[in-house]
Amino acid sequence: MTIQTVNDAIVAKGSELDNLLAKSEPTMDDVQAIKAIGEELKTLKSQLGDLEATEALRKQRATEKAAATPTATNDVKVTVKGHRAESLPAEKKSQFITGRFIQATMKGSEAAKQDLEAMGVEYKTHVESNDALGGILVPQEVSSYIIDLKETYGVFRRNTRVESMSSDQKIVYRMGDDMTSYWGAEAATLTPSDMTFNGVTLNAKKLYALAVVSDELNADASIDLGAQFAVSVARQFAKKEDEAGFNGDGTSAYGGITGVREKLKGLSGTIANIAGLQVGSGNLYSELVLADFIATKGKLPAYARGAARWYMSKDFFAATAERLTLAAGGVLASEIINGYTLDRFLGFPVELVDVMPKVEANSQVCALFGDLALASTMGDRQATSIRADLSTGFTTDTIYIKATERVDIVVHDAGNADATAANRVAGPIVGLITAAS
């Protein structure tokens, strides 16, 4: 059925109706015919309206697709405020998508949604009847972009073992003690032994960031705003993960997480009894000597050395490791003039951790050494999601944007503490602690 055929049918039925209505004394059959033709005309006009609306939508979509069709795998043509934009390189594509996503969620922009559709980006609503009030989950491509940024900024996430969680709680089983082996004599009774297992329990904890954006800012700079929002969220989430993983003391300030430094120090009130801590030569950074670092390195078990690295702040590194390296004999003048690679110390890589201690203090775990992936696990329950709300700030022309993730960090292997030196067993992560005074 076409628009033309429906129009022809309407004209024909109209002529029939006019002839019947022209009769001065219509019969009952004529009255029934007039009623039937009226119903037919009503149906035909409804069909005509639907066909015309469909054709108009077809033409509109054809125009939009022609203006927003990607030209290559790594270059994307997009329409912004009615104008064709320049091709975007691959590294800018995620930033553009983030901006268009923010604009689509906050403003309900059809153009932004069409751009996302043209690039094959899908998003899901929590409430089907209202995208803006229900909130929209971040598209997969933007979510990946944020995760990449978190791994760039976050030292802990980059080095620990990340365990995907399908529910709020997950128990990860791990080997405890090995079996015991014995030398045996011929025909002698064999002694059995058992392997032991234990579990690491991960409980998802919510981490969020809330931004309030003016309607004017959103209208004028939504693309850059989206990119900056993604970068800011990734950076701050990564910082919180680092703070919890390295410095957490189990309080709400760290999401109830106990980090590596506190885990080591909390093994015993007597620092000398802790297998994985080396007490430094003094309480000041300037008093620490090369032998302190060598002794710390020596505490790490051989099984943890394959992927071991140092973890310390840049300030501590400059005040100790770099100072001690330059003071060591055999340094060439060219190395002093031109500098040297600062990401290795005593043969192992160095990770500069912004949240690690920068200012000296008594009994401070100031440096860590080991394999974080063996010592800790990060549970990842929910990747970063973004929601926008237009209702809360309706009277002030502001838009609320909330980013959320759900994670947990458990430091499960830090060695033990014992008054008897022979019973002390260090774990896959050890540390250097300053003296008490």
Question: Who contacts 355 (Cβ-Cβ below 8 Å, separation ≥6)?
Answer: 239, 242, 243, 246, 247, 313
Query: Which range has the top average pLDDT, 86-100, 144-158, 205-219, 302-316?
Result: 302-316
- Report how far apart, in Å, the C-alpha atoms of 332 and of each of 340, 343, 347, 350 are: 10, 18, 18, 22
CA distance 30 to 36: 10
Residue whose C-alpha is closest to residue 274's, from 435, 411, 423: 423
| CB-based contact 267:420 (threshold 8 Å) | no
CA distance 99 to 335: 45
Instruction: Indicate whether 73 pLDDT > 50.
Output: no
| CB-based contact 426:368 (threshold 8 Å) | no
Residue whose C-alpha is closest to residue 214's, from 403, 404, 400, 402: 400
Strand partners, 367: 432
pLDDT of 37: 87
Strand partners, 311: 351, 368
Show which of 13, 46, 67 is a domain's final residue. Answer: 67
What is the domain range of residue 263? Answer: 234-433
How many domains is the chain partitioned into structurally? Answer: 2
Distance of CA 343 to the CA centre of its chain: 26
Retrieve residue 18's tokens: 């006019």
Is residue 305, in this structure, part of any structural domain at all? yes
Percent of the chain with pLDDT over 70: 73
Is residue 242, in this structure, part of any structural domain at all? yes
Is residue 98, in this structure, part of any structural domain at all? no
Is residue 18, in this structure, part of any structural domain at all? yes
What average pLDDT does the segment 410-414 reach?
A: 95
Q: Lowest mean pLDDT: which of 76-85, 117-126, 253-262, 369-378?
A: 76-85
Is residue 302, in this structure, part of any structural domain at all? yes
Confidence of residue 46 (pLDDT cuts 50, 70, 90): confident
Rg (CA), the chain: 34
- If residue 431 lies in a helix (H) or strand (E), which one and from where to where? strand 429-433
Confidence of residue 36 (pLDDT cuts 50, 70, 90): confident
- Report how far apart, in Å, the C-alpha atoms of 164 and of each of 202, 336, 406, 408 are: 10, 46, 11, 11
- The pLDDT tens digits of the residues spanning 55-69 come to 777 767 666 665 554
Helix (H/G/I), strand (E/B), else coil: 192:
coil
| CB-based contact 296:274 (threshold 8 Å) | no
Of how many residues is the chain composed? 437
Show which of 35, 67, 99 is a domain's final residue. Answer: 67
Confidence of residue 154 (pLDDT cuts 50, 70, 90): confident
Confidence of residue 84 (pLDDT cuts 50, 70, 90): very low
- If residue 377 lies in a helix (H) or strand (E), which one and from where to where? strand 376-389
Retrieve residue 390's tokens: 């237009």
Is residue 274, in this structure, part of any structural domain at all? yes
E strand segments, 195-354: 197-203, 205-214, 277-279, 309-312, 344-345, 348-352
- Report how far apart, in Å, the C-alpha atoms of 349 and of each of 153, 159, 310, 342 are: 17, 12, 6, 9
Confidence of residue 404 (pLDDT cuts 50, 70, 90): confident
Show which of 67, 94, 117 is a domain's final residue. Answer: 67
Q: For 159, phi and psi rounded to 5 degrees?
A: -110, -15
Is residue 153, in this structure, part of any structural domain at all? no
Is residue 106, in this structure, part of any structural domain at all? no
pLDDT of 230: 73
Greater confidence (361 vs 121) lies with 361
